Structure 1
């Protein structure tokens, strides 16, 4: 059961698509994340597309962490040679939320079967900012947002700010 929203303001979010080929016009997953956040009453304060290069991904996360409560990345979580988002993000995380990746892969398995094992979706905290790293598939993004992220986002942010 989801926790009640504990924040008195919208969660400030950055949406980052990691891709060597997508553009603003073709970035369906980034558009879905932004739409779902807005529909849930959260605030998208930044949207970027960055190449799948670990140094650029990490640098952007470090920059955005000072500006937002949550960074949501999509793309680059598989095992292909250019899939480096997991490596860039996992290196930054000070605390991980292992349940996110575990439950996401379990839910994905119910939809796509054994291909779910190739997902390296991950979440955690970096400098007081939540980071969610999702696959680039629009179906995967929709699943993660609706089933896991949106129900818990305000609660997770309030927990980080209660210290």
Structure 2
């Protein structure tokens, strides 16, 4: 990749853990994402547990967009009756990053096989800021963060902020 193609952007992240059953104390996935980001010198401004509720997810996402330029929502991306992260986020996206979900499922296939069809992982842009919806499983969230989000965040924000 041509380095002149990437701007020096200060990435700041909020992690929203979407779960009705987990508390911040019990959360391992958000902590794992945060640890990977910190190891890459990407500051996490805060993490917050949000229940599986479309309106509450949208409120938390809009508040986060006021503070940072990257929001990672983990959990609620499956197909159970209460999974609603995608339904909350998708209508707010100005641009979809279809390749994010496709690449995540491709990489995930190597680990979990055809079970990856249950993932509705999604990436997109709102107001020049990156938004990622990734599974709540610790392994899947680490995979998405380590292999896609961290390597591409500056590239995504460079284009999104133009």
Residue 45 in structure 1 maps to residue 45 in structure 2: yes
Q: Partner residue of 1:10?
A: 10
Instruction: Mark the runs of 5 or more structure 1 residues left unpaired by the alignment.
Output: none
Cα RMSD after superposing both structures? 1.7
TM-score by length of 1: 0.93
Q: Partner residue of 2:57?
A: 57
Seen in structure 2, the aligned counterparts of structure 1 residues 115 and 46 have a Cα distance that, compared at 3 Å, is: same
Following superposition, the deviation at residue 160 of structure 1 comes to 2.2
Contact 2:9 2:158 in 1 (8 A): no
Q: Partner residue of 1:24?
A: 24
Q: Partner residue of 2:159?
A: 159
Q: Partner residue of 2:133?
A: 133
Following superposition, the deviation at residue 8 of structure 1 comes to 3.6
Instruction: Mark the runs of 5 or more structure 2 residues left unpaired by the alignment.
Output: none
Contact 1:75 1:137 in 2 (8 A): yes
Seen in structure 2, the aligned counterparts of structure 1 residues 80 and 42 have a Cα distance that, compared at 3 Å, is: same
1: distance between equivalents of 2:86 and 2:3?
Answer: 28
Number of residue pairs matched by the alignment: 162
Following superposition, the deviation at residue 139 of structure 1 comes to 0.4
- For residues 38-96 of structure 1, the C-alpha deviation after alignment (integer angstroms, 9 at most, x for no partner) is 11011111211000001110111111112101000100000000100011011111100
SS of match in other structure, 2:56: helix
TM-score by length of 2: 0.94
Following superposition, the deviation at residue 2 of structure 1 comes to 9.2
Seen in structure 2, the aligned counterparts of structure 1 residues 4 and 155 have a Cα distance that, compared at 3 Å, is: farther
2: distance between equivalents of 1:84 and 1:144?
Answer: 19
2: distance between equivalents of 1:145 and 1:41?
Answer: 13
2: distance between equivalents of 1:108 and 1:78?
Answer: 14
- For residues 80-134 of structure 1, the C-alpha deviation after alignment (integer angstroms, 9 at most, x for no partner) is 0010001101111110000000111111111111110010000000122110000
